[in-house]
Amino acid sequence: MPNLVTTFFITCLAIVLPVSLAVGEPVVRVGVLEFGTVNWELDVIKYHQLDRQNGFKLEVAGFGSKSATAVALQSAAADLIVTDFVWVARQRSHGSDLVFYPHSTSLGAVMIHPDSGIDSLSALENRQLGIAGGPTDKSWLLLQAFYQRYHGKDLARELEPKFAAPPLLNKLIVRGDLPAVLNFWHYSARLSAQGMKRLISMDEVLKRLEVERPVALLGWVFGEAWANQNHDLVSAFFKAIRQAKLILESSDQEWRRLKPKTRANDQSMLVALRDAYRAGIPLSFNEQDRDSATRLYRILAKLGGDQLVGSARELPAGVFWLEQDF
């Protein structure tokens, strides 16, 4: 029978240590945008207890901006975040050990109002184009590269860019205050459900720029040293992620359950979001996929320059985490 000192020590230890550590259950801390689409997958993991089935506890912290998630990762307040590999490349060029594992190949599109009279990219000349993400947004840079190659013109000079937040852009085009917008994939899906028309998708732009395979611009980002020290935990996390993707790929019922979290206005919008999400599930990350990512990076580095990639004009070695199978 333990003495009073031993009993007191054990009681204090149980209070001071997190419950998960006290019972020997490892924790994965994920930092995400508060209303980001990755929350759908994480909700599936929690609802179906895929984390517990794989031997860990998932903790999710929501943040109000992309930069806030980056700070959380860099300050060790989160183990993983979702962001693009261009940012990872820039961090690695500054000595960081961050690595990238694909999350989604879904990309946005140029969407037009059906009454805009626009039927081609050249018809955007002298018109306004709403753009999400600012002057160095990757889709905007790629659209400019495409226009320069096939039309021989600087698209930024030929039209009037209007940079704004994605939700505002959607409101403006639906109201008819903007004839066209270039928005992220899930906002483009919402617009298609509201009667807006797709002029050109960024998938089409990439293929015309000779980036043939779908590229996962967005992915899970985490420290290489942390991953090496927690290899089994990282493997368990990505196994749960794959299981969640499989559920979302195969179950329409799961999407009906998730409807409040997607903030879809109606069933048609939910279906548009579901189909766009499913189209972006990465199927591989082999050498050919990584070659396509490298070609994409070179295009972005050429157009975005120092403001986008800093001094990393070529993709630094070690950006991609290759220790995990698909």
Each residue's pLDDT, cut to its tens digit, for the chain (326 residues) gives 444 433 333 334 333 333 334 357 899 999 999 999 999 999 999 999 999 999 999 999 999 999 999 999 999 999 999 999 999 999 999 999 999 999 999 999 999 999 999 999 999 999 999 999 899 999 999 999 999 999 999 999 999 999 999 999 999 999 999 999 999 999 999 999 999 999 999 999 999 999 989 999 999 999 999 999 999 999 999 999 999 999 999 999 999 999 999 999 999 999 999 999 999 999 999 999 999 999 999 999 999 999 999 989 999 999 999 987 77
What tokens were used for 139? 């889709």
pTM of the model: 0.90
- Alpha-carbon distance of 242 to 177, in angstroms, equals 41
Query: Can you tell me whether residue 322 is helix, strand or coil?
Result: coil
C-alpha triplet 185, 298, 75: angle, nearest 5°: 70
Tell me the domains of the chain and their CATH numbers: 19-104+214-309 (3.40.190.10), 109-208 (3.40.190.10)
HEC sequence for 162-190: EECCHHHHHHHHHHCCCCEEEECHHHHHH
- Residues 167, 263 contacting (CB under 8 angstroms): no
Nearest by Cα to 211 from 161, 162, 145: 145
Sign (positive or negative) of CA dihedral 193, 194, 200, 202: negative
C-alpha triplet 157, 163, 167: angle, nearest 5°: 145
**Radius of gyration in angstroms for the set of CA atoms belonging to the chain, rounded to a whole number:** 22
